[in-house]
Each structure stands twice: as structure tokens, then as C-alpha cells.
Amino acid sequence: MIQQNARRVVSWSCVVLSALVAPIAAAGEILAPISQRFASQGGDETPSFQKHVVPLLGRLGCNGRACHGSFQGKGGFRLSLFGYDFKADFLALTDEENARIDLDSPLDSLIIHKPTSEDEHDGGKRYDVGSWNYHVIHRWIKDGAPFERQLEKLVELRVEPTEVRFDRQGQIIQVRAIAVWESGIEEDVTPLCRFSTNDSEVATVDKDGRVVSGVAGDTHIVAAYDKAVVAVPTICPVTDKAGDRYPKIVTKTVVDRLVVEKLRKLGLLPSEICTDEEFLRRVSLDLTGTLPKPKDVREFLLDTRNDKRAQKIEQLLNSPAYAAWWTTKLCDFTGNNSDQTQNATYPRTASPQYWYDWIYRRVEENVAYDELVAGIVLGKSRNEGESYTQYCESMGDIYSANDGATFADRETMPFYWARRDFRQAPERAISFAHSFLGVRIQCAQCHKHPFDQWSKNDFDEFSKFFGGVTASNRSAPDANKEYQAIMAKVDTDGLRGGQLRRKYEQLMKEGGVVPFPEVYVNHRPRPDTDDKSKKKRPVRNAGAKSASLLGREATDLSRIVDPRQPVMDWLRDADNPYFSKAFVNRLWAAYFGVGIVDPPDDMSLANPPSNRALLEHLATGFIEHEFDMKWVHREILNSETYQRSWRPNDTNLHDRRNFSRALPRRLPAEVVYDAIHQATGSDEYVNRWRVEVGDRAIAIAGSGTRMRGNASYALSVFGRNTRESSCDCDRSETPNLLQTIYLQNDEDVIKLIDRRGDGWLSQVAKQLGVIQKKKIPANIITQFERLDTSIKRIAKNGSKEQRRKLTARRKSLVKRYGDPNDVLEVEVNEKVDLRKIIEDAYLRTVSRTPQKSEMDRSLQYINEGDDKVESFRGLVWALINTKEFVVNH
Amino acid sequence: MAIHQTCDGVRRRDVLKIGAFGAGLTLAQYMRLAEAGDVKAAPAKAGIFIHLAGGPSHMDTFDLKPDAPKEYRGLFSPIATNVAGIQISEHLPKLAQCADKFAILRGVSHTLAAHRLGSEYVNTGTRPVASLEYPGYGAVVSREMPSGDDIPSFVAIPRNPHQKPGFLGVRYAPLNTGSTPRPGQPFNVRGISIGDGVSMTEVERRKNLLQDLDVAFKGYEQEDQLLAGLDKFSEQAHTIMTSSRSREAFDITKESPAFAAPFGESPFGQSCLLASRLVESGVRFVTISSGGWDTHQDNFTRLKERQLPPLDEGLSALFKGLAEKGLLESTAVFVTGEFGRTPKINSRSAEGGRDHYPRCMFMLMAGGGIRGGQVVGASDDKATGPDSDAITPDDAAATFYHNLGIDYTKEYQSSIGRPITIIRDGAAIKELVG
């Protein structure tokens, strides 16, 4: 039956074209919508499978995921999800065993019989007998169910109007979608599109393309047909100040101008510029992940220079904390996860740190972003011209830090390719698209991306670039002899696993050379093979002869050494639609809490930027400034847009996507964790803080189960990036109950407040002249009690030696825990200015001086308590638990 | 408030919902659903999951093969239970006396022989995949049926690294107790207990101070989800710390000695005691993780002397205690290791040991709608695999969810908006819940 069909198809496809063009539309005219052409049974047009039948099945919901689009199918019938696999759909309809169409008796076809019946179809009634839908399907079967082997290319899906403008709620505007085909035919395909809205509060759209306005604001209506996805800006001004009635607003920078241009359309007025205190706290947290020191705040407020904000930005850009924090962000984007790279080098936990160090050096030196990325994309273990033995020697030097060797000295950073979950080409393609393009292509791994142009074939072709690199636990094959030679010298006694690794470390300590794992290029395109042998070899090892960059024609790989090279060249290409945008957009998202494209790693046709001109300006500028990362930081941070207050005005309370004000954002996990340490630390501790960043949470290298120190509980509760699933959402900045419990009552926080030596509270106690009461654990108190009893007993009748021993033990306990018999000295040094200490508490937590009412309330609190130190403990606790502390605003 | 677009065309606004119906339902929505009958009355209102970490030997506990060859059957003999026809190990005499209260699953089978992977499998009901972290049972339960505001939904004793919230988000993570309680001693839980030396007066005093000082966003709190959320959670945290319900839930000294004594003094027994108390207080889900079951060497001595007595004592006391308080019929209990152990005894030590063996294992289920006093499934005559159709961890998970009134075919959305069912395969086992 299939063969019979096939034959008929060939003969029909020619007929179809002529039939379509000739009688219905004259040249230059637009074909009327199919709903009109097939309103009645008459006419002689044969519907096209690609242009009409499959889109119609989509409109009717047949190929939805809950129905026949499910990967298991439904009722023994499976269609490709959202229908872009025309061949598979055609075969499913005409399957010999289970045909859904009956050429001999079209009305008995299951695809007519079932969906027109409420009873017999699990999916219910989908269309009526006698409707245009019915006529289309019926006619297609009646005319022999033709199938176009060669798909026709859709040149454009033109949606009219190009922008939907409303001026009140409940208004209705009809959009029309016109398909422009390669053959020159233009057809109104409105009834065949899938329509959706990006924000159903602002506007809704029905399946016939009727858009209804909701609350004022802006969003996009998305039309999808064939391979095209078109987003139409939809806008309803928020106030009556839009357009010509918008007040004149002087803008300082290009960024400001572009933002205000958009605000004008909506009638939104920007908020005031924030105060110096707000600016300093915001920019310090954003750029360096660090609270400003009390001293910084005081100095900044006294600074009278006009350009002091710009100066501050420069100063922060040159601090180690900037390099640490932005290295962490780059580790987020590239997925530095210690669980994934455990055995990528020796010692086995070193790779995440190496990964971090390598990026840190480049951020610190402000190496161009494309160059930094090239070191990862083209990463391999050996430097250019280096032998395997030299590589192993170099890694040994790094391990032992001989002559200050560090991994940052190596030319490239190969561990990106050594992650365990990213060994196969398709996973690598997904990860790569996320890291460097800000694009989610995983949908297309199984089906046509419903919100982007990518088909399954596009995905497969792109994946082929990534099969040619191998992460091995030994040398590349070309260095086999060297590997054997090193192995021969290393006496491993048949050791394996952890024992072997420890042995290797031992050898390296002694200056020996051990065989390191290697990431190398293994691209060997094979000559043409027949289908059989292809099947035996999975794609990842195939050494693809060609591959296609997203949206480009095929690239010949047969003469290329490293198939990642053309991908890197493409990233650097000024025409690359994603590379530069992805980076500037992520920076923007970090500074505003919302990307220009948001979520920032979902750049797709259906998710357009809220301000295209702004994104273009930054992306183009980044390229023109040769991918200078600091240029982007400066360009954003020096704008008034960044420096606006969070306080809304009469117009912009609900604005969350047009940057008319700053949005309060919860601090990132690492930053909160560090901020608690800083806020509760002594002045001396705080002075070290910004300079010595290595021990801070913002400088933790990897993510994963082996996180350093006791930070891991807090960091996971506050949603540190897990770097697991190739998604920016692996980092969470939403609040939850456990976070609050942590801040209010976790022993970590209590201990930090109470810490002696470098704690702020103990510094305050000294200032007050109070000998701080030491907290001695209950079991130690018991020990003291026993000792004291024994000492008393022995004083009466014991030997001198016994007495000396017991006294010595007591002394060592006192040294460690303090003496429980010490009386708390409650005499407070009256000269101490309590106001000054309260001000200090404010500066070190919320980075501002207290208002009068706040000062009065705090003073009252301190004075009503019997124990001043206890009261200051309460004050610092309260300040840490204000929303203001945990929020960047 | 990011808008997520999903693979299947659904667009969703990620709205932060707060409070008792934190799963994303407002109270009004919930009531409407409840009226429409979409909220099923479940047999169980709470769950206890006990992970015997390391993988307990099935052949020496609940699936003995006395007729198997010597190199398989081991040193232990079966004993009769209070249910005719069911036999278990001689070293589990107390459990034998309450076998009517639980069901034994035999011939459970999977293929993941590594601790981490096996553990993730049995703690989620889904075979682990690299690309996505599936939520553990406790996370799903706290999302679907959260506790009231003054008590946490999900408590892990002392912690459970295999029941992560996964793609549901960290707010469904458990409260880890961090340690196991000791007999007769008040129990301090991370973040819940007010530390020594801070009086309630002081707590209230500084709370008032906080209220007075936390005014930077005054007037705008309700206009911003983040600020509103922080306020709500701050209130809830304070309530949990200061509510007697919450503090008393963790205070096992409040149990009568007569009730507490049968649990024994072992950390496992005390954990079971705490679990029963938490469930009684309204906590929805408790996990207990108890290790030592990885008996590659000295399998028999270790089981007989160290592992089985506390298990026997603690678990039987839990079943009886829950029944005594009338909680067994509303508490779904699930006991499992990550795999069974090799039927054939190895020669690693004088008496031999058993190695990882996922092909054949046992599980226990009790409470809620589970029909106790029965064996479901069977292993072959040497316990090397299921006798006929295997029970999978997915089936067990489906049964557990079913027992908790949670539709295990329900779909969630991953963080990138992929639609995902809670468990991928598996169906509730009819004999257990039918």
C-alpha cells in the first residue's frame, strides 16, 4: 500500500503546484485563508501536506504532547510533536498495518471518522463534518493523499500589523499571518498558525489570531507556522504620558537614551537617581560580591568629586574581589562542577580549582572575552608543541607549585570537555549552546523546537562538531610510547583507584613524573561508508565529515584538524547572532535582576528582547571594543539606568522589564554568606576582607557535593549555582523558609556573631570595657566542677604532685575556654559613645547611617537591656535579619 | 517572576506562592479543587521513609532461602511470624511478632550497583539521569501537602543527601536535624531550637526590635514578591522557633517512658521515636537514614551483633507505636536499602561477606492503605533474581505515592520548562493497596 501511495504521490505533487497557483490567485495577490477557500465542498484545489494538512493537525491539537504527539503515541497512532517531521507523519498516516486514511473510501478514513465523533475518539470531537477543516482533510485524501518529498522553503512569515498597539483594556485587534514561499506564492495562513502570548495578563490571543488587551504594559504575541516563529510586540501604554505627551527627559548615556525611548512608548517615567549610600552598596555587591566597609561608606559620602561614582567603579574593577566574583559567574556559565570532573586530573579534586584559577587570571588581566572563551572551546591538555611527557612534568610542577607554577600558566583550560555528563556530542552541544550562546536547543534533540527555528536535523548537524574531542584517563594514542615509558618508571604495584591516586601524589611530591589523563582532539573523518557500518558507530566517534553551525550552511570538516575551530571562528564572527549578546545580556541580568532577554539563557525567536535597540547597542559595542569585558561593566554601571532608585513613582510601580527603576534583588548565596562574615567581623577582619579573597565563598571553585568547609549548607539553602543542568536557573535567588531560619537562628550565624578574636561583638565589648562573658559548653562546665571539687579535696589531703597536676589541667582548660568563675564586669565605660557603635552596626550591615528614628529606637533597645553586650548582640542580629540586609536595592 | 516557556507550548509565569498552599495553589483555588473532588482523600496523611544505607542483605533478613546450597543460604535460620506462612530471619524476633502490620516486597530488582546511584533511585523512584535531578519523596510530599506554618513539612534525620528537591526548587528541601537524638535528652535541631542562654524574653525583645528597624521598604512590601516573601518567611521562622508545637515535636523526652522504652537506646531506635513524634505533631514527611549495611566482610557477625537488633527493636516499636497512637492508618511507611546483596557468599573474610546486588532485594511497606501481613513478589530459589515479574523501585514509588494520595502520573515542569512526571515508569502494586 505504501508503494502504491508513493507512486501516486509523485504524480500528484506536480499537479498540486499547478492547481494551487493557476486558478486561485493571480500574480502578486495573496491567497485567501484556507478557511475561506475550503468553506464549501466545491473547488478543485488539492491541499498540500506540508503547508496545510500538517499545520491543520497542529491547530486541531492532534500532534500535541498529550495526544498523538506523545512519544508513545496515543491509540496506536503517533505524530511528530508539533509536526515538523513530515515524512514520519506521512508514514504514520499511511502505515500499512494501521492506516489512518482510506484512499478507496475517504470518508471511512480514521482521521475523518474519529475526530468528528465525540464518542469514538478519546481526544473528543476536534472538528465538525462540513467544516473547512473537514473539507481540507477530506479533499487531501480524496485527491490521493499526496506528499511532497521536497519541502518548500518558507522565506518569511509576515505578520501584520508588525506591532500591536492598544490604548485601553478589552480592545480587540486581529493579526494576520502571511506565508511567503520560495516559489513566490503568498498565502494568508492565519487559520493555520499556532498563536501564543508571552504574558497573558497584558494580552491574550485566540487560535484565529484575535488579540485582546489586558492590563497595561508590553509583551509579545507569538505566531508559529512551518519553521517560522514570529514575535509581534504588543503594547498598551501604562499612563497617558506616552508618545508625544512624554515629558522631556535628559539622558546621560546611550544606554539611558535607549531605555527612555522604550519608556516613552509606555508612558513610564524613570525613578530618581539613588542616593550615594544606595549606589555604593549596590555597586559593591554587584561588581565585587562584597559589602562596602564602614570606612568606604564614610569616605564616599565625604567625597565631593563630580565623577566619584565613575571613580568608584574603576576602583572596584581593579580589586581582587571583582576578579573573584566574576570568575565565579564565568564558572557558572561554563559549568565548573567538581562532581563532573573528579578524575580529570591528579589529585582528583584539583580540576575545579584549576578551572577557577585559569579563568581568574584572565579576568584579573582583563583578557578579551573571545580569547578567554577560545581557551576553553579549544581546550586540550597539552600546550602547543608540547610532548606528553613535558605535559606530565608541567602538571607535576603545578601540583608542587615549583617556581610558583600554577594552572593559570597553561595555554588552555580543557576540563570543560572532560566533564562526565558531557562526553557525548549531543550533551556537549546542549552545554555549549548554553555556555556561549545563551540558547536552549535541548528541545530540538527530540523534536522541532516549538519556539525557535531549530529542527531535530539542525540539532544533529550542530552536535557533530563536538564528537572530535576525547577526554581519556591516559595519554592520546600518539603518545602511547611515552605513556608506557612513564608507566614503566612508576612502580604502581598493581594499585588501583584511590590507592593509585595517593601513590601518584606521593610520587609527585618526591619530584617524580606520573601519567596524567589527557583531553585531546581525535577528529578522524572516515571515508564514505555504507549505511550498515554507519549504524555500528555512534555519532560521537564518527569523525563527522561535515557539520552545520546553527542557522548556517554545512561546514566541510574533512580537512580540518580540530572541528571546534570553525565553531570558535563563528563565535568571533561579528555576524554571530548570539555570542556577544549572550554575554552582555547575562551581565545586564546580573545588574538588574532581569535580562533584556529573560530568562537570560533563553534567546529564542519567541522570547525576544524587551528592548532590542539596547541589546544591539551593548552587543555591538562589546564587539567593537574587542570583547573588553570591563567596557561592558562600565557602560552599564555608569548609566543613570543602573543608578536609579528602587523607589517607584506614580507610573512605574509595576514595571519589571523596562528598567525604569531598580528592582530589589536577593543577594546571591555566596554574597550573603560572605556578608554575614563581614558584618559580624572586627574592623581588622573587615580590612583584610576585600584584599584576601581566597578564603571567601565568592571564590569557591567548583559546585557539587564536595564543597569546601562548612559553607555548603548555607550555600545550598541560599541557592548557589549547582552547575548541573546547563541552565542559568541552576542558581536560585528566590527566598525560602530555610534561609530565614538560617539567618535568624542557625548556629553558624550565632557563632559568627559571638566569635571571639576577630568578631565585632567582642570588639564592642572591649570598647565598652566589658570583659565579655564567655560561653562555656555545658560538658566543660561539668569538667570544671569536677576539677574544682578534686582540687578542694586534694588541698586538704593530697600530695603536692597531685595538686600541681590538677592545677595545670585547670589552667589549660581556662586557656581554652575561659574561667567560669570570672565575674562579668558590668561597669560600662561611660565615655563610650553608644551612638557611634550603633552607627557602626548600621554601616557594616546595611551600609548606611541610621535615620534619627532608627537611632532612637536602637538606643532605647541598648539602654533598656541590663547587659549591653547582649543588647548589641540583639541589634546586630536584628540588622542581619532585616530585608534590607539580604536584598540588593 | 520569569516567564518560562516549555517544550510543549505551555507558558508559565513562575509566581512565588507562599504559605500553606505553597505548591502554587492559593487557598481559594485549593478549596475549589477540593469541592470539585480533585483533591483526593488519601489513606495516608504523612510518610516515613527509612533508608537502610549501604544495602542490607535480603537473604539474611526478609527473604531467607533455607533450602539453598550452603554457599548461598548463610548462617541464619528463618522463624515463623505472627502471620501464618510468612517467615523472616531469626534475628528479627520482634518484627516477627508484628508481621501483620507490614508487607514484605520480595524480588524487587534494578540494575544500579553503586551506592549513590542506587540510593538516588530508591529515594526518588526514578532511575537517575545525568541531565535532571529528580525530587525525592519528601520534596514532592512537601510540595503537594505542606504542613501548617508553624512546623516544617519535611524533616530528615539526621540528613538525607539522596532526597534533594531537584527541579522542584530548594524551598522543598528538608530540614536536616544534623544528628540523631539520644535517649532521654532534649534534642537540639539546627535552626529550630533557641540556643542556650537566650531567654524567651530576649527573643521577643529582639524580634520587636527587628520589626521596628525593618522599615526600609515600608509601604512597598506587598507590591514586590521578594519583599512579601521575605516578610512571610520571617514570620514563619519566628513562629516555628517559638511555637510550642514545633519545639515539643522534637522533644522526645516528652514521650512517656512506657511508650519510649520499646524503641531501645540505639540511634536508629531514637530516630524512629522522633519520627513518630514528628508525624504526630503534623510534620508531613520524615526520612531516617541509618547506615552500616554495606557488609562486604563479616556479613553475619555484623548483622547479628550490630545491625539487626536495633532494626528489630526500633522498627517494631515504630509500627506498634504508630498503631497505638492511631497513626498507622494515616502514615505511609517505606523501608528500603539501595540494593540487596550477592546471594553467593564471598570469601573476603573468614566468615565471608556479601557484595552489592541490585538484581534482587527486599523492601517493606506499612501504614495508610497498605495491607499488612503479606508478601508481595518473590525471588527465585537462590534469591538471585525475581521469580517471575520483577517489582521495580518505580513500582514501589508509585505505590508509596498512591498511598499518600499523590497522583504519580502528575506532571511537573523542570526548571527549563520540560514537562516531567514525578516518576517515569511504574504503577502502584495492586496487592498492596487494592
Looking at the structure, do residues B285 and B387 belong to the same domain, yes or no? yes
Last residue of a domain, one of A545, A580, A615: A580
Cα–Cα distance between B37 and B41 in angstroms, integer? 9
- Assess whether pLDDT exceeds 50 at residue A18: no
Express each pLDDT in A353-366 by its tens digit. Answer: 999 999 999 999 99
Residue B131: per-residue pLDDT? 61
Q: How far is B384 from chain A (nearest CA, A)?
A: 29
What domain range is A509 assigned to? 337-580
What is the CATH number for B389?
Answer: 3.40.720.10
A197 touches chain B (CB under 8 A): yes
Do the chains contact at B191 and A82, CB–CB below 8 Å? no
The more confident residue out of A672 and A80 is A672
Cis peptide before B386 (omega within 30 of 0): no
B114 touches chain A (CB under 8 A): no
Q: How far is B10 from chain A (nearest CA, A)?
A: 9
Looking at the structure, do residues A165 and A101 belong to the same domain, yes or no? no
**b or e along A663-698 (b: 16 or more beta carbons within 10 Å of the residue's beta carbon)?**
bbbbbbbbbbbbbbbbbbbbeebbeebbeebeebbb
Query: Which of A316-320, B10-14, B240-244, B376-380 is least confident?
Result: B10-14
- With contacts defined as CB-CB under 8 Å, which chain A residues touch B175? 738, 741
Tell me which residue has cell 465525540. Answer: A118
Query: Which whole number is the average pLDDT over A359-375?
Result: 98
Looking at the structure, do residues B153 and B225 belong to the same domain, yes or no? no
Residue A846: per-residue pLDDT? 97
DSSP letter for each residue of B232-269: HHHHHHHHHHH-HHHHHHH-GGGS-HHHHGGG-SSHHH
Looking at the structure, do residues B165 and B44 belong to the same domain, yes or no? yes
Cα–Cα distance between A189 and A211 in angstroms, integer? 16
A110 touches chain B (CB under 8 A): no
Number of structural domains found in chain A: 4
Looking at the structure, do residues A219 and A95 belong to the same domain, yes or no? no
Last residue of a domain, one of B221, B250, B279: B250
Residue A729: per-residue pLDDT? 82
| CB nearest to A727's CB, from B7, B236, B415 | B415
Helices A747-754, A669-679: inter-axial angle, 10-degree rounding:
30
Looking at the structure, do residues A178 and A109 belong to the same domain, yes or no? no
Residue B325 lies inside a defined structural domain of this protein: yes
Task: Please report which confidence band the pLDDT of residue B36 belongs to, taking 50, 70 and 90 as the band edges.
Answer: very low
Query: Which whole number is the average pLDDT over A7-29?
Result: 44
Residue B258 lies inside a defined structural domain of this protein: no
Task: Please report which confidence band the pLDDT of residue B20 belongs to, taking 50, 70 and 90 as the band edges.
Answer: very low
Task: Please report which confidence band the pLDDT of residue A479 belongs to, taking 50, 70 and 90 as the band edges.
Answer: very high
Query: Which whole number is the average pLDDT over A775-789?
Result: 77
The amino acid present at A376, given as its one-letter code, is: I
Q: How far is A465 from chain B (nearest CA, A)?
A: 20
Looking at the structure, do residues A441 and A507 belong to the same domain, yes or no? yes
CA distances from A496 to A339, A348, A755 (A): 20, 13, 44
Last residue of a domain, one of A552, A580, A608: A580
CA distances from B211 to A172, A872, B218, B230, B388 (A): 48, 16, 11, 13, 64
Looking at the structure, do residues A114 and A52 belong to the same domain, yes or no? yes
Report the residue count for chain A: 889
- Assess whether pLDDT exceeds 80 at residue A778: no
B416 touches chain A (CB under 8 A): yes
Looking at the structure, do residues B210 and B323 belong to the same domain, yes or no? no
- Assess whether pLDDT exceeds 50 at residue B15: no
The dihedral sign for the CA sequence A261, A262, A266, A272: negative
CA dihedral A366, A367, A369, A371 (to 10 degrees): -170
By CA distance, what is A83's nearest residue in B?
Answer: B8
Residue B413: per-residue pLDDT? 76
- Assess whether pLDDT exceeds 90 at residue A596: yes
Residue B5 lies inside a defined structural domain of this protein: no
Residue B374 phi/psi, 5° resolution? -150, 160
Residue B321's DSSP bridge partners are none
B9 touches chain A (CB under 8 A): yes
Looking at the structure, do residues A435 and A481 belong to the same domain, yes or no? yes
Q: How far is B19 from chain A (nearest CA, A)?
A: 10
Residue B206 grid coordinates: 529582639
Residue A218 phi/psi, 5° resolution? -135, 150
Number of structural domains found in chain B: 2
Looking at the structure, do residues A136 and A160 belong to the same domain, yes or no? no
- Assess whether pLDDT exceeds 60 at residue A529: no
Query: Judged by CB atoms within 8 Å, which residues 348-377 of B form the interface with A?
Result: none
Task: Please report which confidence band the pLDDT of residue A348 belongs to, taking 50, 70 and 90 as the band edges.
Answer: confident
B170 touches chain A (CB under 8 A): yes
Express each pLDDT in B409-420 by its tens digit. Answer: 888 877 666 678
Looking at the structure, do residues B216 and B95 belong to the same domain, yes or no? no
Burial of B421 (0-12, 13-18, 19+ CB in 10 A): middle
Looking at the structure, do residues B164 and B64 belong to the same domain, yes or no? yes
Looking at the structure, do residues B161 and B209 belong to the same domain, yes or no? no
Residue A542: per-residue pLDDT? 53
- With contacts defined as CB-CB under 8 Å, which chain B residues touch A420? 130
Last residue of a domain, one of A821, A849, A870: A821
Residue B29 lies inside a defined structural domain of this protein: no
Residue A27: per-residue pLDDT? 58
Looking at the structure, do residues B58 and B143 belong to the same domain, yes or no? yes
Residue A511 lies inside a defined structural domain of this protein: yes
Residue B336's DSSP bridge partners are B51, B363
Residue B292: per-residue pLDDT? 92
Looking at the structure, do residues B419 and B274 belong to the same domain, yes or no? yes
Looking at the structure, do residues A107 and A197 belong to the same domain, yes or no? no
Query: Which of A57-66, A314-323, A511-520 is least confident?
Result: A57-66
Looking at the structure, do residues B47 and B172 belong to the same domain, yes or no? yes
Task: Please report which confidence band the pLDDT of residue A41 belongs to, taking 50, 70 and 90 as the band edges.
Answer: confident
Looking at the structure, do residues A158 and A237 belong to the same domain, yes or no? yes
Looking at the structure, do residues A534 and A407 belong to the same domain, yes or no? yes
Do the chains contact at B237 and A745, CB–CB below 8 Å? yes
- With contacts defined as CB-CB under 8 Å, which chain A residues touch B240? 741
Looking at the structure, do residues A567 and A511 belong to the same domain, yes or no? yes
Residue A72 lies inside a defined structural domain of this protein: yes
| DSSP helix/strand/coil, B375 | strand
Label each residue of A30-48 as H, E or C: EECCHHHHCCCCCCCCCCC
Residue A26: per-residue pLDDT? 56
Q: How far is A776 from chain B (nearest CA, A)?
A: 10
What is the CATH number for A183?
Answer: 2.60.40.1080
- With contacts defined as CB-CB under 8 Å, which chain A residues touch B190? 746-747
**Which of B278, B287, B263, B274 lies closest to B50, judged by CA?**
B287
- Assess whether pLDDT exceeds 50 at residue A255: yes
Q: How far is A706 from chain B (nearest CA, A)?
A: 12
Cα–Cα distance between A735 and B236 in angstroms, integer? 13
Express each pLDDT in B292-342 by its tens digit. Answer: 999 988 999 999 999 999 999 999 999 999 999 999 999 999 999 999 999
Task: Please report which confidence band the pLDDT of residue A501 belongs to, taking 50, 70 and 90 as the band edges.
Answer: confident
Q: A62-76, B177-191, B243-257 — which one is most confidently predicted on average?
A: B243-257
By CA distance, what is A734's nearest residue in B?
Answer: B226
Residue B232 lies inside a defined structural domain of this protein: yes
Burial of A154 (0-12, 13-18, 19+ CB in 10 A): middle
CA distances from A324 to A289, A302, A696 (A): 9, 29, 9
Residue A384: per-residue pLDDT? 95
- With contacts defined as CB-CB under 8 Å, which chain B residues touch A81? 8
Residue B372 lies inside a defined structural domain of this protein: yes
- Assess whether pLDDT exceeds 50 at residue B3: no
Do the chains contact at B210 and A881, CB–CB below 8 Å? yes
Query: Which whole number is the average pLDDT over B254-264?
Result: 94
Query: Which whole number is the average pLDDT over B213-239?
Result: 88
| DSSP helix/strand/coil, B395 | helix
Return the half-sphere exposure (C-beta side, CA atoms, 13 A cut-off) of residue A179.
29
What domain range is B193 assigned to? 188-250
Residue A708: per-residue pLDDT? 54
Looking at the structure, do residues B79 and B120 belong to the same domain, yes or no? yes
By CA distance, what is B9's nearest residue in A?
Answer: A450
Express each pLDDT in A814-846 by its tens digit. Answer: 887 777 766 554 555 667 899 999 999 999 999
Residue B31 lies inside a defined structural domain of this protein: no
| CB nearest to A884's CB, from B202, B206, B216 | B216
Residue B101 lies inside a defined structural domain of this protein: yes
Query: Which of A406-415, A778-787, B369-378 is least confident?
Result: A778-787
The dihedral sign for the CA sequence A530, A536, A538, A542: negative
The dihedral sign for the CA sequence A177, A179, A185, A191: negative
Residues of chain B with pLDDT > 90: what percent?
58
- With contacts defined as CB-CB under 8 Å, which chain A residues touch B176? 713
Task: Please report which confidence band the pLDDT of residue B109 belongs to, taking 50, 70 and 90 as the band edges.
Answer: very high
ipTM of the complex: 0.83
Residue A391 lies inside a defined structural domain of this protein: yes
Last residue of a domain, one of B200, B228, B250: B250
Burial of A119 (0-12, 13-18, 19+ CB in 10 A): exposed
Helix or strand holding residue A532 (H, E):
helix A531-536
Is the CB of residue A479 less than 8 Å from the CB of residue A470?
no
Residue A704: per-residue pLDDT? 74
Residue B115: per-residue pLDDT? 87
Residue A729 grid coordinates: 536557573
- With contacts defined as CB-CB under 8 Å, which chain B residues touch A716? 170, 173
| DSSP helix/strand/coil, A408 | helix
- With contacts defined as CB-CB under 8 Å, which chain B residues touch A68? none
Cα–Cα distance between B86 and A387 in angstroms, integer? 67
Cα–Cα distance between B175 and A795 in angstroms, integer? 51
Looking at the structure, do residues A136 and A164 belong to the same domain, yes or no? no
Task: Please report which confidence band the pLDDT of residue B240 belongs to, taking 50, 70 and 90 as the band edges.
Answer: confident
Last residue of a domain, one of B250, B272, B301: B250
Query: Which of A804-808, A850-854, B315-319 is least confident?
Result: A804-808
A882 touches chain B (CB under 8 A): yes
Query: Which of A771-785, A825-839, B233-247 is least confident?
Result: A771-785
The more confident residue out of A776 and A228 is A228
Looking at the structure, do residues B283 and B365 belong to the same domain, yes or no? yes
Do the chains contact at A741 and B227, CB–CB below 8 Å? no
B20 touches chain A (CB under 8 A): no
